[in-house]
Amino acid sequence: MMESLREYLKGHRLITDGAMGTYYSEITNNPEAFAEFANIERPDIIERIHNEYIDAGAKLIRTNTFAANTQMLGIGRDELKKLIEDACRIAQRCADGRAYVAGDIGPIKENAESEGSAVEEYKMICDIFLDMKVDAIRFETFADFDDIKEVAEYVRSKSDMFIMADFCLNKNGFTAGGISAARIMQQAGQMDCIDSCGFNCGIGSGHMNNIMQKLTFAKDKYMSCLPNAGYPEQMNNRMVFMNNASYFCDNMQKISAYGMNIIGGCCGTKPAYIRELCRRIGDAVPAGRTETSDGNEPVNGNNPAEAADIRVNEKRPNEFMQLFKSGHKVVAVELDPPYDAKYDRLIEQAQYLKSRGVDILTFADSPMGRSRVDSVLMSLKVTQETGMMVMPHVCCRDKNVIAMRSTLLGAYINGIRQLLLVTGDPVPSVSRVSTTGVFDYNSIRLMNFVKEMNQEHFADEPLYYGGALNVTLGRIDRIMERMQKKIDNGASYFMTQPVFSKEGIERLAMIKEKMDTKILCGIMPLVSYRNANFIKNEFIGIDVPDEIVARYSPDMSKEEGEAVGAQIANELIGQMYDYVDGFYFMLPFNRVSLMDKININNR
């Protein structure tokens, strides 16, 4: 019987297996197939791969379950359970006292519709691994600790299982979540629920070495490093890695010398790579390494991978937040960017609103899933032309992680300092044949992403961001619970959907009393009977009472309709003035002249 993994690591360096997915694709000549289905359909191939790695010298193999989740494989939980159990049996049969078996878990994509479900599925998968009595559970290729922490604590509450956490970096030393390698080390040093931490996938051994040699490692954690063989090229519709085991091991020797306890390979590596690792490096316990004392020390230097000081140390006060601090009732007006390239009218509207004392303009991000001028670029154009303070909305629908990071960096270097972060309206069903929503994030995860970027890149002059608030949709305790999650992820203020009803006003008052945050109350001056009916019946989450609609009539003139809308707006402002921090005006059809009829200081 093999000693425990913890005992083994006290006296040895642990060499793991290499890639499963890319090696499976090479063997089967089927680059599009999920290797995970082979646990059921072709267990002989998976058994062959495991045995080749063990014969090459690997002392730990990973179950063939990286993509084994319901979203990735498109299967139900019962089928998933069988697939994972079969994967464990195959790996354990091959290991049979020769190697340890780690239950392998890859990231589960979570979007707006599936919020919270990923954590529950991770827990279910971990329960299967616990029942199958694997030697370790390994989270690999993750971008942040968000889900890992909760799931690892769950596992630790049930078992003393060895828990491994590996993260995927780009060549600059950042995860897809915008977190630096140094920050990962800091966070790992503060987590008692994981045993080892390190990096896998994403980059080749050369770039991995560049990052590792400048890194201060987490204290009291075993360190792991499993880079790719290199970078693939597409040949005959297949992603092919160069056969460069010698070069790979040259770099792994350097990386190992920094004090790595666990080494192996990821995409593109094969048994030959592991055999060479064993020959050159072996299993001798690694020498000492530079560690943080408690996971909190910053690493010196200018390299992004070294930028570990996570404090936001604001040097220049944010103009928008200063308005709140002064007690000023903030006035924000939303303008819809144009559908086409004609923007002159919008600039005129912005100039008009500036002359009327509006504090800030906001620009929606293609609301209702219909393409308009980009909200960030429209904001930049308006502030350049008018000098007004602006706040673009940024939604999760249209941008993946790469595009989102680029957008935020671009906004920042052009002077944008406040944002409204929202999940975003779905793509209209009629457009889904040719257009798909991305939703790599929901609004809470996007807030966490910006929070990380503030800590990594914008500490001297951070981005401030708010979230949307619907006071009438759902139970009030659930609304406040979600608000708190946004606050915990850095939200500094909230902007509500239009409020019309007595119930909405009462709910808003209760929320403001209980939540320590700034709130701008949404005001929409409805301009006609048709407009009122449309908003009442077409927009989920905007509660327009019948008595509001009844104040309009179908035969009203434009001027009469606007007068009624302004009167209602003034009444609502008066009822909410004392307990909100300002007002957020959504003007139908960009009718900015309505602001002349609205008394912001109406008590």
CATH number of domain containing 155: 3.20.20.330
Q: 308 with 297: CB under 8 angstroms?
A: yes
Run of H or E residues at 80: helix 77-95
Answer yes or no: is pLDDT of 456 > 90: no
Look at residue 438 and tell me whether its pLDDT is greater than 90: no
Tell whether 128 is covered by a domain. Answer: yes
pLDDT (0 to 100) of residue 402 = 81
Contact in structure between 224 and 237 (CB atoms under 8 Å): no
113 and 251 within one domain: yes
Domain presence at residue 323: no
Q: What's the whole-number average pLDDT of the chain?
A: 88
| Number of domains forming the structure of the chain | 2
Question: Could you give the C-alpha distances from 299 to 15, 123, 544, in angstroms and in order?
Answer: 28, 34, 55
CB 439 within 8 A of CB 396: yes
Read off the DSSP letter of residue 461. S
Q: Stretch 538-549: mean pLDDT, rounded?
A: 90
Same domain for 118 and 57, yes or no, is yes
Three-class DSSP category at 148: helix
Residue, of 538 and 549, whose pLDDT is higher: 549
What are the structure tokens assigned to 433, written together? 């044949």
Among 425, 450, 402, smallest CA distance to 202 is for: 402
Domain that holds residue 83: 5-306
Provide mean pLDDT across the span 138-158.
Answer: 94
**Nearest alpha carbon to residue 420 among 372, 364, 379:** 364
pLDDT of residue 399: 75
Query: Which domain-ending residue is among 273, 306, 339?
Result: 306
Give the residue from 100, 29, 101, 39 showing the smallest Cα distance to 64.
39
Residues 224 and 359 in one domain: no
Contact, 164 vs 224, CB < 8 A?
yes
Last residue of a domain, one of 257, 273, 306: 306
pLDDT for the residue 300: 33
Tell me whether residue 603 is in a domain: no
The pLDDT-based confidence of 146 (bands split at 50, 70, 90) is: confident
Between β-strands 262-263 and 330-335, what pairing exists: parallel, antiparallel or unpaired? unpaired
Mean pLDDT score, 268-276: 96
Predicted local confidence at residue 376, as pLDDT: 94
Neighbours of 83 (CB within 10 A): 23
Q: Are residues 147 and 102 in the same domain?
A: yes
On whether both 426 and 574 belong to a single domain, the answer is yes
Q: Specify if 316 maps to a domain.
A: no
Q: What is the mean pLDDT of residues 39-59?
A: 97
Among 243, 272, 306, identify where a domain stops: 306
d(CA 403, CA 409): 10
pLDDT digits 0-9 by tens, 488-517: 999 999 999 999 999 999 999 999 999 999
Same domain as 415, residue 288: no
Same domain, 333 and 302: no
Whether 195 and 240 map to the same domain: the answer is yes
Q: Are residues 382 and 301 in the same domain?
A: no
Is 312 domain-assigned?
Answer: no
For the question of whether the overall pTM of this predicted structure is more than 0.85, the answer is: no
- Is residue 228 within 8 Å of 267, Cβ to Cβ? yes
CATH code for the domain of 515: 3.20.20.220
Least confident of 102-106, 297-301, 385-389: 297-301
Q: Is the pLDDT assigned to residue 417 strictly greater than 70?
A: yes
Which of 120-129, 148-157, 236-245, 449-458 is predicted with the least confidence, judged by mean pLDDT? 236-245
Do 286 and 337 share a domain, yes or no?
Answer: no
> Same domain, yes or no, for 348 and 256?
no
Mean pLDDT on 263-284: 94
Are 343 and 462 in the same domain?
A: yes
Query: Quick one: pLDDT band at residue 239, thresholds 50, 70, 90?
Result: low
Position 435 scores a pLDDT of 42
229-233, 310-314, 361-365 — most confident range: 361-365
What residues are paired with 523 via a beta bridge? 585
Question: Which pLDDT belongs to residue 314?
Answer: 63
* Average pLDDT estimate for 425-433: 43
